[in-house]
C-alpha cells in the first residue's frame, strides 16, 4: 500500500475535528431542549453497550 502518511493524518484529523465540532454544536441545542431526559437516555445506552461487551467477552 503506497499511502502518504501526512495526507492520511490530515484527512483523519480534519474529519475528526469536523464531526466533533458538529457533535458539540448539536449537543448544545439538543441538551437545552431535552435537558435531563437526554442524560438518562445516554446513560441507558452506555449500560447496554457495556453489558453487550461484557456478555461477548464472557461467552467467548
2-26 pLDDT per residue, tens: 889 999 999 999 999 999 999 999 9
16-58 pLDDT per residue, tens: 999 999 999 998 888 888 888 888 988 999 999 999 999 999 9
pLDDT at 34: 85
pTM: 0.57
| End-to-end CA gap in the chain | 33
What is the C-alpha to C-alpha distance for residues 34 and 27, in angstroms, rounded to an integer? 10
Q: How many helices (H) and strands (E) does the chain have?
A: 2, 0
pLDDT at 32: 81
Amino acid at each position: 500500500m503506497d499511502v502518504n502518511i501526512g495526507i492520511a493524518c490530515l484527512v483523519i484529523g480534519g474529519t475528526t475535528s469536523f464531526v466533533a465540532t458538529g457533535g458539540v454544536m448539536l449537543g448544545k441545542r439538543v441538551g437545552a431542549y431535552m435537558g435531563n431526559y437526554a442524560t438518562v437516555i445516554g446513560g441507558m445506552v452506555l449500560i447496554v453497550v457495556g453489558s453487550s461487551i461484557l456478555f461477548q467477552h464472557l461467552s467467548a
